[in-house]
């Protein structure tokens, strides 16, 4: 080891909490907007409002990066942009490949936000031979056969999977074998990957389902006791014959969903 800088404290990622890391891009975006308007400094209060968080959280987040503010004044916008960019690793350029050039893959390829800061689409890859050579977002689509070569020739470490669910696991394995260690997965599947590989998942239908849950709750607010009274004793599910007994038993002994109090008192 050449310098006195420690190898890394063996703890969590340099001590920056994951929740904080997830918010840094948000701050960065707000700061970039301020920077473009040539605003020289911001207070935690202002910046927090722009990023949609509260100011205590923002100050705590920044405190993990170091003391970059000036008491009584606020934060220097340009300086903070730089520090956060550096912390996120955006001062270097990350080549990424997009695998699966369907509607979504094409949308991603065309998405300006990709190229803007720190990322560069190095290649578009698709399994369909008919796609080969077709230009998408000003770039010829390449065939999956060449995936390994493309990854290593371009030094790609980040891959985006936009294939159908069925292909995703296999694609991830090939990406990883070729040297990719971070994957952004748009396919609706759980990828299983070796340790040391990061996967982030973007799942449209999961997000919608979460919204539906809350939406239902809102609707139930006023309507439940009125229209839902009979509806509340639910129509029994269509049970498979060979498990009906077990399910019936389970149903008979199950508690209501309202917490500790059984809906049907057993004793």
Compute the least distance from the CB of residue 94 to DNA, in Å: 23
Phi then psi for residue 96, to 5 deg, are -125, 150
Residues in 43-102 that interact with a copy of itself by CB under 8 A: 50-52, 64-70, 73, 76-79, 81-83, 86-90, 92, 94, 96, 102
Rounded CA gap, 13 and 180, in Å?
Answer: 19
Compute the least distance from the CB of residue 153 to DNA, in Å: 37
Compute the least distance from the CB of residue 241 to DNA, in Å: 18
Residues in 231-260 that interact with DNA by CB under 7 A: 246, 249-250, 253-255, 260
115 or 239: CB nearest DNA:
239
Write the interaction track for a copy of itself spanning residues 150-189; mark x where CB under 8 A is met and - where it is not: -------xx----------------------xxxx---x-
Write the interaction track for a copy of itself spanning residues 20-39; mark x where CB under 8 A is met and - where it is not: -xx-xxx-xxx-------x-
Kindly provide the b/e burial profile for residues 210-240, where b requires at least 16 CB atoms within 10 angstroms of the residue's own CB: eeeeeeeeeeeeeeeeeeeeeeeeeeeeeee
Which segments of 34-190 are extended strands (E)?
A: 41-42, 69-70, 74-76, 94-99, 119-126, 135-136, 139-143, 158-161, 182-185
Residues in 71-100 that interact with DNA by CB under 7 A: 71-75
Q: How many residues bind a copy of itself (CB under 8 A)?
A: 119
Residues 81/35, Cβ–Cβ less than 8 Å: yes
Compute the least distance from the CB of residue 49 to DNA, in Å: 12
Rounded CA gap, 109 and 59, in Å?
Answer: 35
């Amino acid at each position: 080891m050449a310098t006195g800088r420690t190898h890394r404290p063996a703890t969590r990622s340099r001590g920056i909490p994951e929740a904080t890391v997830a918010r840094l891009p948000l701050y960065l975006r707000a700061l970039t907007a301020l920077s473009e308007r040539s605003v020289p400094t911001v207070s935690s209060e202002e910046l927090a409002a722009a990023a949609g968080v509260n100011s205590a959280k923002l100050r705590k987040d920044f405190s993990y990066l170091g003391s970059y503010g000036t008491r009584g004044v606020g934060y220097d916008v340009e300086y903070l942009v730089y520090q956060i960019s550096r912390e996120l690793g955006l001062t270097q350029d990350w080549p990424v490949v997009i695998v699966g050039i369907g509607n979504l893959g094409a949308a991603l390829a065309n998405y300006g936000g990709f190229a803007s800061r720190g990322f560069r689409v190095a290649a578009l890859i698709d399994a369909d031979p008919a796609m080969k050579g077709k230009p998408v977002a000003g770039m010829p689509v390449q065939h999956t056969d060449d995936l390994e070569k493309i990854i290593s020739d371009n030094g790609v470490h980040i891959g985006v999977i936009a294939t159908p669910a069925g292909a995703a696991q296999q694609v991830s394995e090939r990406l990883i074998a070729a040297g990719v260690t971070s994957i952004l997965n748009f396919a609706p599947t759980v990828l299983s990957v070796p340790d040391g590989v990061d996967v982030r998942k973007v799942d449209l239908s999961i997000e919608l389902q979460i919204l539906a849950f809350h939406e239902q709750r809102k609707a139930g607010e006023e309507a439940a006791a009125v229209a839902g009274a009979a509806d509340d004793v639910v129509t029994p599910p269509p049970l498979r014959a060979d498990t009906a007994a077990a399910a019936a038993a389970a149903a008979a002994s199950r508690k209501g969903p309202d917490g500790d109090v059984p809906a049907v008192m057993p004793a």
